[in-house]
A = this chain, B = another copy of it.
Amino acid sequence: MSDLAKRFATNPIISPRDVKPSREGFEVVCTFNPGAFEFNGRFGLVVRVAERRTTDNESVESLSISRNGEIEFQSFSLTDPKLKSLDSRSFIYNDTEYITTLSHFRLAWSSDGEKFSVEDSPILSGSSDNESFGIEDTRVTKIGSEYFLTYTGVSSNGYGVQMKSTTDWKTFEDFGTVLPPFNKDAVLFDEKINGKYQMLHRPTGSGLGGPYIWSSTSTDLFHWGHHVCVATTRPNMWDSARIGAGSAPIKTEAGWLEIYHGAEVVPTGHTYRLGALLLDLDDPTRVIARSQEPIMEPRSNYETDGFYGNVVFTNGQIVQGDEILLYYGAADTYTCGARFSIKEILNSLKS
């Protein structure tokens, strides 16, 4: 398979051991899936930090944030017969699903895009009913002078798309739940198209259909409609199990270039790779071209081994001319970086 990524020699650029837990008694398990942006001449990342309490190896815990901001714990014995389907990320107890970690967002700053220092405290944590099991995987899109964060809010109600905006990376405006469960991997385009804001997202369900990439439009960013399916999974290919958009589509002469993730079921779980979609400039629900082979796949040991191995997953990038500085989560554990050439990706779509 092909791999067009020029990985940073310094990978992983952020590891769990680099990041201070948000409170005593907690350990940082994963520092991954960052959103990316430029601000006042610096590179910024919004890193997803997944934590859990230091455990005794005989039980597993579910953490949630209460309305007053306190963290509540539920502990389950690993030998309890009602406990089922345990993988590193989630488990089922008595037919109800729980997740093993609680995620928040932490800012990291860099002057060169490679060496980042991570702030000691969360910039955003779950704060509403639909975020009680944490917040995950934000995309950052700059529209005008405003940065929009679209991220997954997780709770016992399911997982849906939350949105906030900021101009100073200190205070945030809240748009609430902009798409109801079961939905994630949402990202805004960085300009209006035909007079409307545009978003890609990924509903998930069972039965008919599947975890496909959809498009929606809005006039006010709070309310979304005109939902259209853009791309589906492809049987017997590297993106046969699920797909989801990465960062904001990149405007090129050929069309909107969108790097997305595709997952395939393998004996050990899922393998996540990256590919590209080229969308029509005037009608971004129309796919002009799509990667036959992935443009990046798990190869390095930090991508194949970790909390959940064989994953490269991106939701953050910075574009400079022909170069994409792509930030990605590796093995659901690390934040890593790689460079891509837009021309090379576009050429790969022609073949």
Contacts and interface: CB of A to CB of B under 8 A. Distances in A.
Given A181-B209, A203-B181, A227-B180, A219 B216 contact: no
A302 interface: no
Interface in A160-180: 160, 175-180
A180 B207 contact: no
A159 B133 CA distance: 27
A157 B209 contact: yes
A219 to B, nearest CB: 6
Interface size class of chain A, counting residues whose CB lies under 8 Å from the partner chain: 35 or more
Nearest to A163: B225
A243 to B, nearest CB: 13
B156 A182 contact: no
A226 interface: yes
Contacts of A222: 225-226
A314 interface: no
Interface in A200-219: 201, 203-210, 212, 214, 216-219
A101 to B, nearest CB: 13
A130 B207 contact: no
A209 B159 contact: yes
Give the secondary structure class of A's interface. Answer: strand
A210 B209 CA distance: 18
A209 B158 contact: yes
A176 B176 CA distance: 23
A208 B175 contact: no
A182 B160 contact: no
A83 to B, nearest CB: 16
B227 A177 contact: yes
Contacts of A204: 182, 205-206
Contact of A209 (B175, B182, B219, B227): B182
A157 B214 CA distance: 10
A323 interface: no
A331 interface: no
A76 to B, nearest CB: 15
A229 interface: yes
A227 B160 contact: yes
A31 to B, nearest CB: 23
A232 interface: yes
Nearest to A209: B158
A3 interface: no
Interface string A235-263: 00000000000000000000000000000
9 closest residue pairs by CB, A with B = A158-B209, A182-B205, A223-B223, A180-B227, A223-B225, A177-B227, A157-B229, A222-B225, A181-B203
Interface of A: 90, 97-99, 129-130, 133, 154-160, 175-183, 201, 203-210, 212, 214, 216-220, 222-229, 232
18 contacts: A129-B229, A130-B229, A133-B208, A155-B208, A156-B208, A157-B209, A158-B203, A158-B210, A160-B227, A175-B225, A176-B226, A177-B226, A180-B183, A180-B201, A181-B205, A182-B207, A204-B206, A219-B220
Given A157-B232, A180-B183, A223-B224, 10 more contacts: A155-B208, A158-B208, A158-B210, A159-B207, A177-B228, A179-B180, A181-B214, A182-B182, A182-B204, A204-B205
